[in-house]
Amino acid sequence: MTTTLDFTTFKNVIDNELTTTATTHHGINPATSQPNPEVPVSTQADLNRAVDGARKAFKSWSKTSFAERRATLNAYADAIDANAEVFSKTLTMEQGKSLAQSQAELGMASSWIRGLSAIEIKDTILEETEDRKIIQRHVPMGVAGAIIPWNFPVLLAIGKVASALYTGNAVIVKPSPFTPYTALKLAELGTQFFPPGLFQCLSGDDRLGPMITEHPGIDKISFTGSCATGKRVMADCAKTLKRVTLELGGNDPAIICEDVDIDAVIPQVGILSYLCSSQICMMIKRLYVHEKIYDEFLEKLVAFVKAFKVGDGTEPDVFIGPVQNKMQFEKAKELFSTIKADNLKTALGGSIEDSAGYFIHPTIIDNPPESSRVVQEEPFAPILPVLKWSDDDDVISKANALETGLGSSVWCADFDRATRIADQLQSGSVWVNNHFAVAPGIPFGGHKQSGLGVEWGLSGLLSYCNSQTQWLKRTVSKV
């Protein structure tokens, strides 16, 4: 079996055939503003063909055992590892993140496939007597639609693909129009392992997402993206009562208590606020530092963050690549304009210079009002508000004050106090003395407007299954 792929042309994968479309478009390399290769703009006919293929593939794949699916998925994971270098370069080309961060994402992708497909899904015997057995089973739904954003295009696609396939479903992936390249190649690589129609990928423009969410031949949507789009997805899914999982935006608070080892915390918090140019749903986006250590903490954080190298992700040692697209760059510029308009104090950076790519130097805002837009909104750009606090109950209520609730963290030497605070935080993930820890076997999702349901872990896998209760009687009761 060959695993060599050509990374110069990019096509849809429908029924294990590589196809293109009459109209094409292209992404932009955010480090250079130069066009990336052309990709298909899929039509309703392309989607219909993919759905027909998926429904056929589902019939036989759903009858295979977990062991067979695990073996096929693991072979596919090995092939991703074998091609990791070229996938990483393509990811940096389309997304902008540094090559090291792209390599890390590729490594996570294959380990997510192995980790998710190692989870046991068992039937539960709810009652068993001589005559009667009641069993709860978890049966595959059919065809899953996986809608992916532009910040983590490999891992987020693979998490959905592995979950859908391992649980016995077929899957159709729709990458973001900004970052279609790695997803198309992941599906192309999949043709060497999976039967036709099982794992397909369609590239398209803004019309393709709604076509997928409204398609009657698709049974479940797993969507990762913004809160605003998530609401539209849920409304569209309601028309056919599709199952839906939503992984949406966040504005994660991190609470730093006065007893921490500042020098140990700074590198962690610095990295976890600016990874991927802060374009990760679960980055630290509001940093609450206790007033007793505020000045020293801020000074050391500025020194640490100032040292991040900003530049084209292909250059050695770059930590902060460009933001991913022009729309995001313009949004960031608009948010940065509030620094002057709202008279905010910067501890680092504060302006955006024109350059060939969409580069933004890391910025730290020194104790802005809670009501300012940099605190209230998810910036998805390297700008971090650092806020002073003094009272546990007050900082907890500030951390919980927004409509989002994706992640939050507490950093504290006193473990009992830390867990007391953690227990009161309203978010899908709560970390103590770390942030953004994730693993394939651990469920993750949002509270409030950060989402619906979870992905990953056993609970995530079960979201690709329908519950079925079987009432099995050996004989017919006489009345």
Return residues touching ligand NAD (CB under 6 A): 147-152, 174, 176-177, 206, 209-210, 213, 224-226, 229, 232-233, 247-250, 281, 378, 380, 406, 446, 451
Nearer Cβ to ligand NAD (246/265):
246
Verify whether residue 247 is a known catalytic residue.
yes
Provide the 3-class DSSP secondary structure of residue 317: coil
Pick from 164, 204, 166: nearest CA to 12: 204
Distance CA 80, CA 84 (A): 6
Provide the 3-class DSSP secondary structure of residue 82: helix
378: left (phi over 0), alpha (psi -120 to 50) or beta: beta
Pick from 158, 174, 275: nearest CA to 223: 174
The CB-of-365 to ligand NAD minimum distance in angstroms stands at 20
The CB-of-425 to ligand NAD minimum distance in angstroms stands at 16
The CB-of-306 to ligand NAD minimum distance in angstroms stands at 26
Which residues partner with 255 through β-bridges? 288, 410
DSSP string, 197-214: TSEEE----TTHHHHHHH
Nearer Cβ to ligand NAD (232/300):
232
Q: Give kind and range of the element (H or E) at residue 231.
A: helix 227-238
- Pairing verdict, β 346-348 and 318-320: unpaired
C-beta atoms surrounding 426 within 10 Å: 16
- Supply angle C-alpha 427, 431, 433, rounded to 5: 150
The CB-of-442 to ligand NAD minimum distance in angstroms stands at 13
Q: How far is CA 377 from CA 90, 288, 327, 328, 371, in A?
A: 31, 16, 16, 14, 10
The CB-of-304 to ligand NAD minimum distance in angstroms stands at 24
Nearer Cβ to ligand NAD (79/201):
201
Distance CA 433, CA 446 (A): 20
The CB-of-81 to ligand NAD minimum distance in angstroms stands at 23
Pick from 370, 366, 333: nearest CA to 348: 366
Which residues partner with 429 through β-bridges? 407
Provide the 3-class DSSP secondary structure of residue 455: strand
**Amino acid symbol at 286:** R
Nearer Cβ to ligand NAD (110/224):
224
The CB-of-109 to ligand NAD minimum distance in angstroms stands at 14
**Amino acid symbol at 262:** I
**Catalytic: which of 281, 378, 412, 455?**
281
The CB-of-455 to ligand NAD minimum distance in angstroms stands at 7
Beta strands in 211-345 (DSSP E): 220-224, 243-247, 252-256, 284-290, 309-310, 318-320
Nearer Cβ to ligand NAD (40/177):
177
Scan for tokens 């990709």, then name that residue: 39
The answer to whether the beta carbons of residues 101 and 276 sit under 8 Å apart is yes
Nearer Cβ to ligand NAD (396/406):
406
Nearer Cβ to ligand NAD (289/332):
332
The CB-of-90 to ligand NAD minimum distance in angstroms stands at 17
Nearer Cβ to ligand NAD (163/224):
224
Verify whether residue 465 is a known catalytic residue.
no
List all residues 6 or more positions away from 458 whose beta carbon is below 8 Å from its beta carbon. 119, 121, 441, 443
Nearer Cβ to ligand NAD (377/392):
377
Distance CA 66, CA 348 (A): 52
Q: Give kind and range of the element (H or E) at residue 46.
A: helix 44-61
Report which residue's Cβ sits closest to ligand NAD.
209
**Catalytic: which of 94, 188, 247, 455?**
247
**Which are the catalytic amino acids?**
247, 281
